[in-house]
Structure 1
Amino acid sequence: MAGLRRWAMLGGLTGAVCALGLVIARFVGVTSVSDTIGLVSAALGAASFAVSLVPAAESAPAARLPRLATPEDGSPTPSAQGMSLSVPLSGSPLTGQQHLVAQLLANVRKPDGRVHVLSGMGGMGKTSIAAEVARQAAGKSVRVWWIPATDRATVRHGLLSLAEQTGVDPALIERARSGRVSGADLVWRHLATLRRPWLLVLDNADDASVFGESTLSGPAGRGWLRRPGGGTLLLTSRLVDPNAWGLPVHSHPVSPLTPEQGAQALICLAPAAGTRQEAIDLAVRLGCVPLALHVAGTYLASPGARIDSFPAYREGLDDRFMAVQRRSSAPHRNARTSVIMTWEMSLDQLETEGCPQARPLLRLMSCFAGATPIPVSLLDEETITRHLPGIRVPEDVDTGVRALLRVGLVQADRGDRENDRPATFLVHPLVAETSRAHLHDSVHAGPTQMAALALLKAATESLDPRLPSDWPPLSRLRPHVLAVLAQLPGDLLPTGIAAANRVAWGLACAGSLPTAEDVLRHVLRLAEQLPRPHLEVVRATYALGHTLRAQGRFHEAQEALRRALERAAATQPPSADGTTVTPDRGVFLLRPRSRLLELERRFAPVPFNEPSDDDGPGSRPGPPVLARPGPPESALATEVRFELAAVLFALGDFAGAETAYEAVRMTCRASHGEDHEFTIAAQHELATVLRARGAFDRAETEFRVVSDTCAHKYGANHPFTLTARHNHAGVLQVLGRLSQAESELTEVLRVATRTAGAEHPSTLAHRHELAGIWFERGEAERAEQELGRVVAVRRRLLGADHPSTLASRHNLAAVRGSLGRRAVAAADLPRVRTSLVDLAGEHHPDTLAARNTLCFLLLASGSCDQALAGFRALSADRAAVLGPDHPSTLTTRHNLAAALLETGDRVRAAAEFRAVSDARSRVLGPRHPAAANSRAAWELLGDPADRTTPT
């Protein structure tokens, strides 16, 4: 039986492709779908064995990607994911609310398990109270975090940043950001484990729905809002009804100050403006609203103020009352009118002082999201000067902003200061809200909105969604883009949608897939008001399809891409001015977010247009010119067709994917020519599908043609050429032509190491695949050592749960199992399988491959009955997903026969070995090593009717 056990464990060692590969999406940062000739929709490589080694789930570098600028110390570019959770700067000393501060600090010391809410109308100082509580708590060694709760995406982003900054496993954060696990569950479970006291402030939570639709159910809360457990959760909100939250809360109403407290606030700010009684009279006139008191006191204390006393300020309010009241359309008219008049008088004073630009600048800044930091970089002086009436020269912008800061209408948020200028500005939400209301009925509305839009257009166009260094600024622009977009008339909407599309691409590339989806769905809702489809709407629909596909929601992605294709056909190019509009550079997503793009730039290869000894006679120097003939919408439609085919591939509809790619290739060949990038890309993708279907002879021919075409068009050293050669080697390996495969891949690895470096993602993919060839040639120890090195590098650079790392971890476990080190292999493989289920689903081919290996290890360790049951179930699942004659299905059937033999059922084992031998001979050829393995096992057992035990 020893000989038979060997056949059971190693039989089918040279089986065919077992997995589609985890990376169905293309490499992040590709400049167009046509660049897929340098990428692999399925995994790079082709080896799978009885133990189901999986290909390298990764793609080679895309061309024309700029290098990434990294800090001088070599540290990676900061992630887009983290956000500042610091307490904001205070606008003025807190007056009259010390009792609330004391109550809340008492709860911080001894949490009562309830959510605490500071509630009241705008301008009452809720944020100031919360900030004071946070500062005093931080001084007593309490961990404090501050998150704006202005919208759902910001809440999600902030809470995940909290988890990231307090030590949660980065792999779990990655899963939560990409929507594969519940981020809310992850964060609140983590907060419950913290021993040190903590305080979390969610500021400006004026809409309970931002915490998720399921928030308002159950006493413990759901969604992103939960009972705090071991810490204190403090909200500031205009919602005064405690039942609005749907879970136990302790509401702390924030009312106007008393006249005495209001007078004290004024005197603290402007001690020389009058007597206490005069301060009391002014405070009463202002409704004792803290925001109005702050603006008035700051005005009175400003140098050169035209009005310099409490009585004079009160008279000025009376003079302007009717005008301001007519302009106010917000609720709470009396209280808010008092507040409005305070900043109208401040603006009047600035105009008198020779700073009229302050008023248009406040209108402009109020167009952006209130209570949300406005980056200094957004307020580009040249753009404002060109588009905003009242700004004559760029220097007016700096002068006007400084004046607004001086009178307290704008605050400088926390940040690094350079040349005495803060990193961000903050406009109080009530100031922004009422200024927008005034602007709505003003002749200045159109020019101001156009200026805000021009700023966002310039800011987003200066950023590249593919660059990790640009992800943080794109993320910070998200609320401002959405705020401005909501105000735009229809004729300006397409320009706003273009800015939102760029933000969404950046979020998606950074791994914030649910947030990107939210932005795109919001955009598409607004786009319904357009009279006809616009190119930017097509791009948004296309991007939504990408984002859904990256989240594994393939049927939804398919529907979105079909809508994009319909809209692309109905969209006319904007060619009235003779210009052409090319589609956005296709930013193709990995699931989950990886650092591959960052690595692409950190380890960017030398230019591939340098001639070398490796270039064949058909190569040519110089970068390839990737022309896009035809109208722009036809190119975009072609990209959508590529993606639709990729979705079919992801769904396991190989026949449909083959038909789709063949149709795309024929269309591209007729429209653009045989060697156009689109045509080559379609041929490469078609070869990938053929390989997945088990049509290896056809796949080998297609990959060989693509390799030759790329070498002639781009040069022998170009990433496209190397990728095509890599995949050609993979098919040669499956066909049993191991010497040819090893020779081809060794040469590819040599060139990639020289040009890209030993740790570049593409080089690691080549090393991964070469280890598989060594294993097939019987050099298991050598394969184990190389896979161990690849796993170590991929863990360090990409993370433990990146698809490429999982592929190498799986293969390493499989090789160790074949070498008899089953305990070591079995220790990691269940974790790999769990990650694969999270990543791709229970029935994805890669998950099925991991199940095959787990069953193999059970069989090798003597758990034959468990292994037999597992192989039977897996055989049925693989047949359903891949087809009954797919090489991976036959691999599992071979192992099923081995399990039958181990349990003593020789008759069924022999019959199964014979059936698998016949199928493998038919599919792979009678001389293929896999067919030879099954045939040898059957011959060793003899005819099933012969009950004689072989020697």
Structure 2
Amino acid sequence: MSDPMPIDGRASGQGRVFQTGGDQYIEEHHHHYGAGPGSLLAPQPVGARPPRGASVPDSVRVPLVGRAPGILRDRADLMERLRAAVTGPGGDIHVLHGLGGCGKTAVAHALFTEAVRDHGRVGLWVNASERISLRGGMLAVAGDRGATAGELAAAAGGQRAAADLVWHYLDHSAQRWLLVLDNADDPTALEEGGWLRTSPLGTVLVTTRHATSPLWRGAGSARHPVGVLPEADAAQVLCDLAPDAGTAESARKVARRLGCLPLALTLAGSHLSHQLLESWSMDEYDRKLSEDSTALVDRGAAGSGSGQSRHLVGRTWQLSLDALAGQSLPEATTLLRLLSCWAADPVPLSVLMPVARGEVDFGHLDPPLAADRVEPALRGLLDHSLIGMVEADGRRCVEAHGVLLDSVAAGVPDAQRAALAEGAGRLLEAALPPDEAVPTGTPTGWELFAPHISRLLRTAPGERPVGLAVRITRLMRHAGNHPGALKQARYAADAAERCLGREHPVFLAARDAEAWALHYLAHFSDAEAVHRQTLAARERILGPDHPETLRSHLGLALSLNLVGRNEEAVRSFRSAVDGQRRVLGADAAETLFSRVSTLEPLSQLGRSGEFDEAAQVIEDCAQLLPPDHLTTVLAHHCYGEGLRVLGRYAEAESVARRTLADRTRLQGPEHPLTLAVLSLTARVARGLGKYGEAIATLQELIERREQVLGSEHLFVIENREWLAEWQAEAEARP
């Protein structure tokens, strides 16, 4: 064997130089743990990838969260259940789920503090929002419970099962513990790593936006929904943070505007308490919120001690949408943008069916919302607590928080706003009952759409939203909600004037709706003035024979009759009837409605012959209209009123009783027209000399009208005067 060739070499630091001759097998292992025991931050060779899960939190003994509330409001029942779990035998998993910003982490923080301070538990807090932070945090938990540096390094490098290591040390902990997995919005991260388990030595608390994961349904798991605060508690949160900014009532207004969302309340209170150049009151802040609620609220982030996106109202929802996009559900963003065109009130699922059937197309938007992706997008939004399922008026609905909708609406690209608003309007239009100038019956279910139409009218005014607002006004009037109809009609008219002009037919339709609402609220002179203005404009713009012009003739006639100008009223009625016969036909519902309406002024003028001739309309309604059509009921009502005016009380009595039964059955006992027939029955009884019956009926009428119309309504005041008069008459009778 020849001598080995000499080799010169140097080593420094932890390097090694070997020199040998012949064939040798050498194996050497190096473990570098860094500065301290349990560290995962060992030096790595140049170009090497860091071990998986190398993100280590600064602490697992302290909740690394933004500013926690000094006082936890409203969550007493929830805290009691969680407190019992922490102090009990252990082995439970408790899941707090709900919309981002509802205070799930605040509840977890409060429980963590109590468990450590009052119950001697070891508190362990892990940020579970991302896989890397979850893995690093759980390994740090193992280190806290006694794992050696070598074991941790092997787990971090993939040389042993990391979750098994963590749970081994949790199962063998010398002290009982509470483990919080905060912001676990992607349950698959917990499931794939096997991180979520139970142990007899402790309690696991998970906070998540994901409400429906199968992972939460395992043995030993309990789910707790966390919602917004009650209004009183929400107002108190603002007062806690900014006690000098205003009264409790002012705080209630701000809380109501912010939907009682804890994150928004915390940021708003922080902003109010940290102003330097300005010092707004609660009332001033409330006014500012109407301009841009999301941007204004987020100004409070600087005062809250955290500028992270999770602690910003304007960004917190985007985290969930980004997660959905990562799960191949980008269309969830477009669906939520569509919902943001509407109000924070229940939206019937049926409204979205035309999209799912491809009848209303959103495929051209970015991201596109294809028909077959509506259902998965809905489920994705539900899973991430961006929307919730509710029942309203017997319908299955979805509902989103108002601040969320404002935030999402503010982020809609300008190029897509018009298309979304157009589609939202078409969907509401398809969902509403038929638009009838003369009601066939009392429609139901439309109330759900009123706030959505108002929101659309406010954010995207145009011909369709104004037209929808007019339809809602008519439905309100048919249902007897005359104050609501007046408010909605004026709002629609103002919007139409701004975006369409005073000559547009839709503006005139809104004014017509306003006049009818004034009429039914007994503002007869105002109603006459608006009807007269609308009639003149319609004759000029639409022509004298347009159906809407003829409808204005009818409205004007009704108002003239009620201000005592009966002759002029009859002429206007005849203009309406003659034109409708010519344009719509003698058997049209509107023509019959106008004919019925002439009965009252004819009786008031004492024209009994013409009145009896006009009463033929009752038979015509019975023959030409469907059973229980409200125009037929109105015909009996007007006929009974005419008989009373003519002093034919015996004939009027049976007509009034039948009409009262029909009104009550079809429109309900509290409808204003039902109460009008009740008034008729009382007056007929008085005319027949049945004072006991008349006074009892009148007293019932006053009580019910006060409940419906208010004690200061003209009709209520008039009825009280009648009561005094009739009681005096009854006492004076022999």
* Superposition TM-score, scaled by structure 2 size: 0.40
Higher relative contact order (CA 8 A, sep 6+): 1
Q: Which has the larger radius of gyration?
A: 2
